[in-house]
Amino acid sequence: MSRESPFDQLVFSGGGLRCFWQGGFVDVVRDEIGLDPKRIASVSGGALSAAGFICRRGKMVLDVMMERFAEADSNIAWDTYETDGMTPHQRIYREVVERVIDVEARQIISDGPSYQVLIGHPPSHGWSKATGTAATLAYEAELHTVSSPHMSLPEKFGVSASLVDAREAAREGTLTDLICAAATIPPVFDPPMWHGKPVIDGGMFDQAPFPDPDEGRTLIMLTRRYRNVPEAEGRVYLPPEQACPADKIDFTDPEKLRATWACGEEDGRRWLKDRN
């Protein structure tokens, strides 16, 4: 007999490659506690973590990403600048998403729980990369001064956001585009377009977006510790016990990915023990 899920909602924060901590954690705890949320919200690299969770392919995301990283010897596109631009990151990330979130996975996602992805928009459409860079600076400033998963300064600079229905994107065949667009950090990456609007990493707007509607008990999977985490009834903010080994956008070290996933597994086992 199935158990009632202890959480109605699950939030996957951003954090680049640190999001593999989320994958290791939920891989350990989901069946042990009957984690079966009605609604899932995600941002940045957490969008891929969420997709992997829904179709139970988180470990496959890890394996494929490690395989691709083993082939990369630099974070600079020295030999492929004409096709990749400054870095090979966007191409590699898309290749991983396309391989893991295939037709079968997209069908599972489209039939699954509510799954939303927060994407950000730079202040200006005409100078999206430049204004996106300014937004990045505002985000970094607030991250290190206020240190909260919920931002306010980038919005004052004109950053806006859209919470996108990822199940609909799966049905329309645009889920890969959405997941890849969600993890776009200017000025390193070129802002893509989504429904006619340029996109930047939604984590610059909010690192822990809540689903719409926002109802019930919520588990928020962070990827770093913050000094100022809100206290709210029915919400559990869960950060890694220690800093994740993976660098945010270093695509050359697969072993750091493995170690980050392992940290998530270890924290998951510790969390289960503390609950008992």
Residues annotated catalytic, as ranges? 44, 201
Q: How many Cβ atoms are within 10 Å of 139's Cβ, its own excluded? A: 23
| 7, two tokens | 């959480």
Q: Which residue has the tokens 């930047």?
A: 200
- Counting Cα atoms < 13 Å in the Cβ hemisphere of 151 gives 31
- Give Cα 120 distance to the centre of its chain: 13
- Assess contact for 102 and 170: CB atoms under 8 A: no
Alpha-carbon distance of 159 to 217, in angstroms, equals 29
Cβ-proximal residues to 21 (8 Å cutoff; 6+ apart), any chain: 15, 223, 240, 244, 246, 260, 261, 263, 264, 267
Partners of 165 in beta bridges: 116
